[in-house]
Amino acid sequence: MVKNSIYNTELFVLFIICFVIFHILFITPSLAQETFKDIRIFKEIPYTVIKDVDPNFTSLDIYTPLTGEHFPVIVFIHGGTWVLGDKGRLNEKIKSFVKASNVYVSINYRLSPGVQHPLHAIDVAKAVTWIYEHISDYGGDPLNIFLLGHSAGGHLSALIALDDHYLKNLGFSNEIIRGIIGLDSAAYHLPTLIQSEPENDYLFEMAFGNNSDIWEKASPINYVEKIQSVPPFLLIYAGDREVSKVVNLAFFEALRKSEHEVDLYYSSDKNHVSVERDLGKSGDINIKNIFQFIHKNLKYQ
């Protein structure tokens, strides 16, 4: 009897140990982490849970320095015409930001045709508010959150900052965003983009429908004059896409005319893909401009 009791106790202890390990690795995302050299990686953290939706679409990954706290936070919002894309894996862009003492967060959001506007923006707003509330647990400074959006991601970051109802519906304001960096987005005025690229009509319709009134309501440029307080913007557009030039110049002028802080940079040696793909690689000037923008707009406690 004593021997069986000891054996059962050992099994129970082993079960508890296995349960705790499983819980840490698979159930509690904030504790599940990997390490790559001097970077800690937290994967597949849910920022919201939506019934019958693949949890990958409403998750984010966090990359941090090994030690320290109160780091500026870079939130990357991927492009892909609102129908493609993913938060991705460790790359040179992430390494560059973390090496420069930033916390880097890459988010996913639901994609079309599974959803249509405004659900992409609603997801991004939820992700940003989750980051604001929880990023200090990962060494990030919630007072210094910068959004970095490429293409469709640039549109979504600008939209939730300028059309204030997205964040207000969650109990927040755009004051939780310290700055926005847009990488070659031509969607600050959707009708201009849609009219310039008829070959992509089917993609635009999947994301926004065919109602031109909705296109206007989903265009960040239309809110510039309606909102008093706007985070600083850094707009970067690439050298091979005329519609990017037209829309970024118009957005820049609208922000400046309304006396909002905005910088504009023409990345003549990059195209729509490489402006994001090469970010942080050796010789890339865009990462230097972004670091300067972040440093200029940091809020010190």
Model pLDDT, residue 301:
60
Model pLDDT, residue 35:
78
Scored b (16 or more CB within 10 A) or e, 41-63 reads bbeebebeeeeeeeeebbbbbbb
Residue 290: CB atoms within 10 A of its CB come to: 26
The H-or-E segment that residue 13 falls in is helix 2-22
Q: Contact at 8 Å (CB) between 39 and 90?
A: yes
The H-or-E segment that residue 203 falls in is helix 201-208
List 103's β-bridge partners, or say none: 73
Over its length of 301 residues, how does the chain's per-residue pLDDT go in tens digits?
Answer: 444 444 344 443 444 444 334 343 333 444 456 778 899 999 999 999 999 999 999 999 999 999 999 999 999 999 999 999 999 999 999 999 999 999 999 999 999 999 999 999 999 999 999 999 999 999 999 999 999 999 999 999 999 999 999 999 999 999 999 999 999 999 999 999 999 999 999 999 999 999 999 999 999 999 999 999 999 999 999 998 999 999 999 999 999 999 999 999 999 999 999 999 999 999 999 999 999 999 999 998 6
pTM of the model: 0.88
Model pLDDT, residue 32:
54
Q: Domain 34-297: give its CATH architecture.
A: 3-Layer(aba) Sandwich (3.40)
Helix then strand count (H, E) for the chain reads: 11, 9
Convert the pLDDT of each residue in 123-149 to its tens digit: 999 999 999 999 999 999 999 999 999
Model pLDDT, residue 16:
41
